Amino acid sequence: MKFNYRMFLSATIIIIFVSAWWYGVQLIQDTQTIPSGLGYYYSDTTHAEDYKVRDFQFYNQDSILISRANFENKIWVTDFFFSTCEGICPIMNTNLGLVQSQYKEDTNVLLLSHTVDPKTDDIPRLKAYSQRMGGIPSKWHFVTGREEDIYELARKSYFVATPKDSTLNEDFVHSQLICLIDPHLHIRGYYDGTNGKDIKKLIEDIQKLKVEYNKDGRQKTLDIFPYFRNNQ
């Protein structure tokens, strides 16, 4: 068969054109995002979008040192509890178990529960409590540390508890709020951990953040050619 130079040249030009078009599509997609519609939270609302949860270091139920780095580029929820609580804590953590079940196979969604009674809740007790709650070790971290550090985080990092009242003899954090954090460490929502409707909304909001962010924490690109996929 005789080589057709003109046909070869035409095919080459088409391939270059298509490649350039596709590169342009990817470039446009990388500059457009799909917002989740979720707000940002901070004590100063004008700077809420810039605020990031503070760093921390605590030991979890498996004696592993956990820090903020374990949660960066992840979607995560956090609460404060104590194992001997017979009121809101069992309800809260049972509901967090529902969140865990919803994203059981998703390694980019994590849970973090801080004990507010570290004198009682040592690592063996947290291990037993985690097992009772059905916690998956790599997904749901139950942590303990210095009481002052935990209380500082609750009040001044997650803002789920009121400041210490110097008029009271006892200083104790006991909050039913669950906090949602995005992959860039921003606070994106608060939920009543004892309220079924709020837990349902939490699950839905996690899904919204999954749309907003890729699994590696970068924002998800906007699909600008839905017609072609829908009509293939």
Res 60 pLDDT > 50: yes
- Spell out a b/e string for 135-154, using b for 16 or more CB atoms within 10 Å of the CB, else e: beeebbbbbbbebeebbebb
187-192 vs 177-181, strand pairing mode: antiparallel
Residue 110 and residue 87: Cα distance in Å, rounded?
Answer: 24
CATH of domain 45-212: 3.40.30.10
The most confident of the ranges 85-99, 150-164, 205-219 is 85-99
Res 149 pLDDT > 90: yes
Res 61 pLDDT > 90: yes
Reported confidence tier of residue 176, pLDDT bands at 50, 70, 90? very high
Residue 198 and residue 116: Cα distance in Å, rounded?
Answer: 23
Q: What is the pLDDT of residue 64?
A: 98
State mean pLDDT over 158-180. 74
Q: Break the chain into its structural domains and give their ranges.
A: 1-32, 45-212
Reported confidence tier of residue 62, pLDDT bands at 50, 70, 90? very high
Residue 173 region by backbone torsions, left for phi larger than 0, else alpha for psi between -120 and 50, else beta: beta
How many C-alpha atoms does 148 have within 13 Å on its Cβ side? 0
Percent of the chain surpassing pLDDT 90: 66
State mean pLDDT over 47-63. 96
Give the range among 119-128, 156-165, 199-208 with minimum mean pLDDT: 156-165
pLDDT digits (tens, 9 = 90+) for 68-124: 999 999 999 999 999 999 999 999 999 999 999 999 999 999 999 999 999 999 999
